[in-house]
Every structure is written in structure tokens, then in C-alpha cells.
Structure 1
Amino acid sequence: MNFKILVIGEAMVDKYIHGIVDRISPEAPVPVVLFNKNTENLGGSANICQNLANLDADVHLISIVGKDEHEPILTKLCQNNNINLIPIYLNRPTIVKQRIVANNQQIMRVDFENNNNLDSEEEKIVIEQIKKVSKEYDAIILSDYKKGLFTKNIIETIFNHFNNNFILADSKPDKIDLFKRANIIKSNFKEFKDYCKQKNIEVSNDDSSIENTYNKFIYNFNSFLLTRSEKGMSFLSKDKFEHIPTNAKRVYDVTGAGDSVTAAYIIKYLETKKEEISMSFANKVAGIVVSKPGCVAIEKEDLKLKNENKKIINSYEKIESIVNKLKKDKKKIVFTNGCFDLLHSGHADYLKKAKEMGDILIVGLNSDESIKKIKGENRPIVDQNSRLELISSLESVNYCILFEEDNPINILSYIKPDIHVKGSDYKNKYMIERDMVEINGGQIGFIEIKTNENNKISTSDIIEKIKNEH
């Protein structure tokens, strides 16, 4: 489905001069760049749009544009990338970032911009333009690059005009409070930390600190999507907290990665209406774009290539073949199984500890039908395909596979793990699969379950809490 999305923000042109440096200027102690080529890309809010367009969205962009030599470049770049530009012409320059890159290293940047807040006349022009825009959009993205567009009056106008639309706001710390009516606010950890500092709140980049901090102003916002560099990503709301580790294997350049996260999250959310799935997809996209130099948008071919390396295995025979090869390489195989419905921090901690018991962690997920037999007709909350996607996004998990049976005996007969992991609460319980594990030379391992305020974290408790609070 081609979702229709409106981005309101500050479009830029990223211009690059590429060359090489092999000497210092005799005129001053600066490098001399021998010119090779020029390139021009979309930047700022227009980079979000390019990501959206590459993910098959019908994209419209409202941005202030100057009537200058850079305006035709921006317009042409938008046309070439299937972005419908809705320019608001003011007596300001089209924003340009001119970078000089030598030997694949940026050595200088020159900015062409006026980042002062709009004056009353400029603000009036923008407000009039926004009020003329159709409301027929699947989602609105507000992309604040702190270049003067988002005044208090303009922000209020946007929320009043699009009061029935889903809105994601990507704001700088000093204006986050003005965007509190958004359905979700996206921020990186540095911005979140700066925002908290304004409130005289200290926060560190770990799950518990972020959760405790968010609890202090939980009712000010609907939800937060927080990108955390090497720590991954978090979804924060008054109902739940979700954390997933980074998907990046190699970080070359983080420029524009936040825009790719914003675009990927909104596309997947419109498709699934599930925050966890959307965050997992955005995490995957971020892992791809940071592995490339410069401000680049995600390409569908990148995702296809990524999908070829999925950890999701669709047959017992295939996982058996994979395990046999791994065992020939002297790899220690760890297996665990469960429903993993409403993936939470307890699950992530459990799987991380399971992986530490060996070299390869394989997770068996109960199918939707088997969960209904075990938990009842109202479960699972999250369907099996979504659960597979979420589990496969965890760094600790090497492979995951569905099983239809009520117990894992059959799948264990194919995998024959060195260690079959269970929660510590199973230590003194009868386990129907024990014989199958031990007859194939394996052993049972136990893991202490993560607790929260002295209670075990469980999906059932989370569901019950939501029911009680609503």
C-alpha cells in the first residue's frame, strides 16, 4: 500500500566537493584539495522524504524555500526522487550545506541559511499556507532542524488543522514541550538528555535510567521513540517500555540516520499499528544506512539484501542442516523456546544470558495455534510473524523457528542442542522434553528470570496491568 504522508520541515541541499589532499598550501597552513567532482543530495527534512519515497510512500513536503540559485537544485532533486514539494517562498535563502570531502574525510562545511525565528509577517504567510493544505494524509511528520520554521503559533496551527491525523514530531530539545500533542515524539539520546537537563533531571544511557526518567514526565506526552546509538532504540509510553539492541554491524557515518529511522518507523507503523514491529524495522534500516558514507537514504535493494540474511528458518529440515554444519565447526548450540508474546526487557535479558551459555542461540517460538491451546483464545496478542521479526532483530539470537506442537520435543529431535535453556522456575518441575535433550547428549541449563520491583516480569502481568488501568 502506498501511504500518503505529509512532511512539514526544513528542506536542505547537501552539496559536496570531492577531491584529494596531498600537500599543504604555501599561502597558509591549510590543506590544498585537488578537485575531483561535485555531488548534490537532499538533506534535512527532504532526506526524510527521500527515505519515505524509497519505501514507496506518496510524499508531500512543505518547506520554506528561497528564490535563489539553489531553489532550482532543490526542486529538481525533489522531482527526481518522487517528492511533491510544496514551497513557501520567503525572503530567506534555500538552506544549503556545502561540504568539502578529501580522501573520504570531511574537512570543512559551509552553511548557507538564516536560522532566526520567523518574524510576524513570515509566520502569517506560513500559517495561511498550512491552512490551505488538504487533511487527507495517512500521517504527518514534523521535522524540526531548528532553522526558524517551528514557532509556537505555527506548531499550534499544525496540530489544530491536522487534529485527526497521526503525527510524528522530530524536535530539538528546546521545543519538545511544544510538540506534546504529537502521537509520538522521536529523539536521539543526546537530545533527550539535553531536554531532561532543562528539567534538572539527570539521565544515563541505560534502560532503567531512561525508564525512571521518563516516569517523571510520563503524562506530558503520548509516546517517545528514542534512538540510543550503540545501545539501540527504545519506545516509551505510559503503558509500556520496549528496548531493542542496535542492528548495526559496522558504523561508517551516522549522518542522516535519524531521518531514516523516522521514515522507516512511520511506514511500518501505518502498515502494522504495532510499535514493537515498527521499531524493529526502523532499527534494521538504521543498521544499513550507518554502514554507508554520507547522508544517504535507505534503498529497497538494501532491504532485499538484508532480508536474504534473515535469521528466520522455515523448516525443521533446514534448521537441522544448519546445526549439523555448525557442530562440525565445533560450535556449542543453545536452544530455548517460548511464546515471547509482547516482547519485554525480561525476554531480552533471558535471551542474552542464554546466548552467553554457548556460541549459537536458536529460539523456538510457539505458533499462534499452539499458544491458544496453552494460554487461551485471547492469546497471543502479537501474531507469530511479528513475533518472529522481533525475536530475529535481537543481537543475541542467531536463528529462530516456529513450532506448532504443544511442546518442543519434536523440534529438539532435529536440533539436538548442547544446552536446552529454561527459566530457573523450572528447576524443580517435571520437564517433558528432558529425556529428548539428554538422550542426544545435551543438558538442561537454567537462567534466573529478570525481576522488576521484586516480581518476575511477565507478559501476563503486563496484560493484566493494562486491563486494570483501562
Structure 2
Amino acid sequence: MDFNGIRVLVVGDVMLDHYIASRVERISPEAPVPVARVGKRWSAPGGAANVARNLARIGAQARLAGLAGQDEAGRALRQELAAEGVEEGLTLSATRRTTCKTRVIAQGQQLLRLDDEQRDALQPEESAALREKALALLPGCGAVVLSDYGKGVLLSPSEGESLCALLIAAARREHIPVLVDPKGADWGRYAGAQCVTPNSAEFAAICGRDQHARLHRREREDLAGGVREEYGFERLLLTRGARGMILFEKDRPPLYIRAAMREVADVSGAGDTVVATLAACVAKGLDWERSARIANAAAGVAVGKMGTAPVSLAELNQALREEADNPKLYARPALLEKIEDWRRRNESIVFTNGCFDLLHPGHVSLIRQCASLGDRLVVGLNSDASVRRLKGPGRPIQNEESRALLLAALQGVDAVTLFDEDTPLDLIRMVRPDVLVKGSDYTEDTVVGADFVRACGGRVHLADLVKGCSTTNLVRSMNNNEA
């Protein structure tokens, strides 16, 4: 998948997402609240800015129009966008502060969220300036995303033309599809858009139903058809979290897409990833069904990350390859991002490596011991070429895809990655594990990467071996039986 040369305009409520990683170990003596010991802090573009960031990360050219304050959060947001390569056309307000969400995270879970925001409609002069910038960014785009977070940018004004209606009309004249990530109960301002992407709660609200009430399939399909017809939407993509997505289109049966998730760390920003990926695919000229399936794969990657983290092109392409393959097999760029995400959650990393040609009880014992030494286990797997150099022309017995699939199926393994070198030293330097594990047939001085791991503050562990278990013995036994 390649989005080079694809341009997408994003218009909506931009914000800065600020994160504070902490650790909770006790309850305050002053009040029945947890005491969070502050650790790492970081910030990232949020809201419509996160949609633009997702587009940039998958290789599309993102253009962004929104409103930010002339404050520290606004300056930080613009710096983040510049670093991502987003072409920003933000209108700066002298009276309105930048929306900022601060999340306090403890042990991988959100402990508290603080929202600093204004939610009223824009001033007339702000609306005029924003409208001018958005229209100036429209030519040459293959799609438009209206990212509505209900902070004022896309709200219908008390007087004058709605920015949503203006952009939808302008885009239609140029045959540019408009996609909407909606908010609130006033969907009339999105009328005529090619696609809306509500989640289950937003869909229930616009249909006048309780968001916790379970809808039967036929009832849901009837409601979706009614919403489409009422507002003139060509299609509606309902995102349902762990239940996947449903694409509703006129004169076509609904398309049910199963969720593509590895593990759920945080659903924040998943809707941004969906609409960004969907828009990029449509702008590329892919049909809506294929585009929705690709967006679903991207969402599966996004929910496995902590916070509003974007999905890279490498991660997306890997996810597409893994849909019917091995979700725990990581290429190095994707593995590095996953490890950084685990570290943000204060999780310790264990690493071991080997050929794992024919899995036997010794391998299972090694994996169990490794998994008990930390929170996440990364296994470096020798590639087929590497095994041949080490073991001879008759090995491996199973190819690298089969060996990786079997390893990933073992409980305790969180990631498998291939290495083609004779030793895993480069991989160990990239992973920088807290614990490096090899079998007790080694000594610490002979373990590759031991000096590096210890220098980084980690440790080396020699695992107990299961007597008589080795792939070499199994191969010898099979050869003897055949003879």
C-alpha cells in the first residue's frame, strides 16, 4: 500500500493531547484517592490534528485547517504538526485558548483526564478567517475530512453559512468526496457528505436510542438507512469497537467487517485513524469496500497503542499482510514502535533468541521461564538463511514463516521478529531488553549482547534446560528411524 502523492484536507477541532505517565503504589492519607508518582511526560496532536498526523504517517500529504489559541499549547501543537510534515492552516485566536486534554496514566490505565477547552461557536471574524484558509487548501485534494469534536469549529453559527455546508458544496463542485467523523445531534450540517463514520454511541444518539440498548441486525439496518436518506449521505460506516465495522450503502447489502485487533491498550484516537485511513484510500481511488477493510486493519493497530498514537505506513502494510497470517510477527520498525509503547506503560521487556526449528518441551520451558521474568517477551528468530549458515544445508526443517507462527502460538510470547545476521546483536541493541535470556549451556560471558544489556542497566538470565531435549537429537532420531 502506498499513498505517495495523495492529498487530503482535514478541517475541524484541533487539540493538544498531553500525557503524564505515573505509578500508583498507595492511597493518599489526606483523602481516599490514589497517589500517582509522576514519571515521563509527552504531548501529541489530538482531534482533527491527530487525523492529519495519521495521514502524514501513512505517507499522504495532509492539509489541516482549524483554530488554535495564541498560547503555549498552541505553539506546542504547531511545532508537533511541523515535525510531522503536516501543511497546517490554523487560524490563531486572540481570545480563545487551545483545547488541551491531559491524561494521567498509571500502570497502563487512564487514571484521570483533565479537559481545558471552550465549546461555544466561533466569533464571526474567526469563522471568516478559517473559512478562507480551508477553501484555499481545498484545490488539489483527493478527499476532505470534517473532524468534529464539538469544540466550536464545525458548529452551526447563529447567523451566516455553516462551514460544513460551505465545504461540502465546494467539494462536490470539484467532485471531491467528503467524509465526516460526527459529533452531537445536529447532523443536518453534514447533509450531502459522501460518508459519515459514527461510533455505536453516536449512532444510537442520532437514532434516538439508548446507547447501551442492543439493536437487532434488521433494526440497525433500517435505522442506518433512515439516517442516510434523511441527511443525504451516500454511505454510513458504523464503527463498533471489538465488533468491527458495518458499511451501509444505498442499493447494496450491508458489509459486516470483523474487528482486526491484537490487544486493546487504549481506544483513544482509533476513530481518527479510521477516518484518516478511509479518506486516504478513497482519495487513492480504491472502492469503498476495500477502503473500509483497510481502515479496519489500521484501527486494529491503533487500539493496541497507548494514547492517541498514529499508525505508520509500515504498521498498516504489516497489518494487511497479517490479516490471514501471524499478528505477532513484527518487522523491525513496527517492533520498535510497539516496544516504545510498552515502555510508556512502564512494562519490562524480556528478550531471547534461537532457531526454534522443531518445537519441543525444552523450547516450551524456555518460553515459560522468559515470560515469568518481565511483562513482555520478544523472541528473535533466525531467518532461514541464518539457520542454514549456522546448522548446515539440511536445516531448517521448517521455514521461517512456520517457525514464527508456532512460536507466536505459545502463551507468553508477545512479539516475534526475524533476524538474518549470524548473531542477534543488532536486534538486541534495538530492543534494549531489561532481561536477556539464554539457556544454561551458556555462561554470561558467552551470551551475545550481555555486555550491552548490562551497560544499559539490564541483566542476563540463564534458563534451566530440559534434559535430552534438542532439535538436533530429534533430527538424528528421525534419520535413524528412516534408516
Q: TM-score, normalised by structure 1?
A: 0.62
Q: Distance in 1 between matches of 2:137 and 2:283?
A: 21
Q: Do residues 143 (structure 1) and 147 (structure 2) align?
A: yes
Q: Do residues 193 (structure 1) and 197 (structure 2) align?
A: no
Q: Distance in 2 between matches of 1:265 and 1:43?
A: 18
Give the alignment partner of residue 164 of structure 2, picking from 146, 150, 155: 155
Change (3 A) 1:113 1:202: closer
Match of 1:179 in 2: 190
Q: Distance in 2 between matches of 1:136 and 1:299?
A: 24
Deviation at 1:131, TM superposition (A): 4.1
Give the alignment partner of residue 125 of structure 1, picking from 123, 129, 144: 129
Structure 2 stretches lacking a partner, 5+ long: 157-161, 326-357, 359-483
Deviation at 1:51, TM superposition (A): 1.0
Q: 1:203 touches 1:209 (CA, 8 Å); kept in 2?
A: no
Q: 2:260 touches 2:323 (CA, 8 Å); kept in 1?
A: no
Q: 2:244 touches 2:296 (CA, 8 Å); kept in 1?
A: yes
Match of 1:210 in 2: 220
Q: 1:203 touches 1:213 (CA, 8 Å); kept in 2?
A: no
Q: Distance in 2 between matches of 1:267 and 1:131?
A: 19
Q: Do residues 41 (structure 1) and 44 (structure 2) align?
A: yes
Q: Do residues 77 (structure 1) and 80 (structure 2) align?
A: yes
Q: 2:89 touches 2:134 (CA, 8 Å); kept in 1?
A: no
Deviation at 1:204, TM superposition (A): 4.0
- Secondary structure of 1:168's counterpart equals strand
Cα offsets for 1:87-118 (capped at 9, x unmatched): 11122111110111122222111111111122
Q: Distance in 2 between matches of 1:202 and 1:292?
A: 26
Cα offsets for 1:116-147 (capped at 9, x unmatched): 12233433333343344442211111000000
Q: 1:201 touches 1:213 (CA, 8 Å); kept in 2?
A: no
Match of 2:114 in 1: 110
Show the 5 A alignment for 1:376-387.
Answer: none
Q: Distance in 1 between matches of 2:272 and 2:42?
A: 20
Deviation at 1:68, TM superposition (A): 0.6
Q: Distance in 2 between matches of 1:85 and 1:217?
A: 33
Give the alignment partner of residue 318 of structure 2, picking from 272, 296, 305: 305
Q: Do residues 61 (structure 1) and 69 (structure 2) align?
A: no
Cα offsets for 1:272-311 (capped at 9, x unmatched): 4311111111111111111222221112232343345353
Change (3 A) 1:225 1:28: same
Match of 1:225 in 2: 237
Q: Distance in 2 between matches of 1:223 and 1:236?
A: 5
Structure 1 residues 4-13 or 302-311, which shifts more? 302-311
* Matched residue type, 1:160: A
Q: Distance in 1 between matches of 2:278 and 2:168?
A: 20
Q: Distance in 1 between matches of 2:54 and 2:155?
A: 26
Structure 1 stretches lacking a partner, 5+ long: 313-324, 326-470
Aligned length: 313
Q: Distance in 2 between matches of 1:273 and 1:307?
A: 15
Give the alignment's Cα RMSD to 1 decimal.
2.5
* Matched residue type, 1:211: E
Q: 1:15 touches 1:97 (CA, 8 Å); kept in 2?
A: yes
Q: 1:15 touches 1:38 (CA, 8 Å); kept in 2?
A: yes
Structure 1 residues 207-216 or 220-229, which shifts more? 207-216
Match of 1:236 in 2: 248
Match of 1:287 in 2: 300
Structure 1 residues 25-34 or 123-132, which shifts more? 123-132
* Matched residue type, 1:113: E
Q: 1:10 touches 1:149 (CA, 8 Å); kept in 2?
A: yes
Structure 1 residues 264-273 or 188-197, which shifts more? 264-273
Change (3 A) 1:204 1:97: same
Cα offsets for 1:241-289 (capped at 9, x unmatched): 2111112242222111111111111222233431111111111111111
Q: 1:207 touches 1:243 (CA, 8 Å); kept in 2?
A: no
Cα offsets for 1:449-469 (capped at 9, x unmatched): xxxxxxxxxxxxxxxxxxxxx
Q: Distance in 1 between matches of 2:30 and 2:228?
A: 58
Deviation at 1:218, TM superposition (A): 4.0
Q: Distance in 1 between matches of 2:298 and 2:279?
A: 12
Q: Distance in 1 between matches of 2:317 and 2:212?
A: 41
* Matched residue type, 1:100: V
Q: 1:180 touches 1:222 (CA, 8 Å); kept in 2?
A: no
- Secondary structure of 2:72's counterpart equals coil
- Secondary structure of 1:216's counterpart equals helix
Match of 2:286 in 1: 273
- Secondary structure of 1:296's counterpart equals coil
Q: Distance in 1 between matches of 2:75 and 2:170?
A: 30
* Matched residue type, 2:186: K
Structure 1 residues 28-37 or 121-130, which shifts more? 121-130
Deviation at 1:20, TM superposition (A): 1.1
- Secondary structure of 1:27's counterpart equals coil
* Matched residue type, 1:187: P
Q: Distance in 1 between matches of 2:126 and 2:208?
A: 32
Match of 2:31 in 1: 28
Deviation at 1:203, TM superposition (A): 7.7
- Secondary structure of 1:149's counterpart equals coil
Deviation at 1:170, TM superposition (A): 1.1
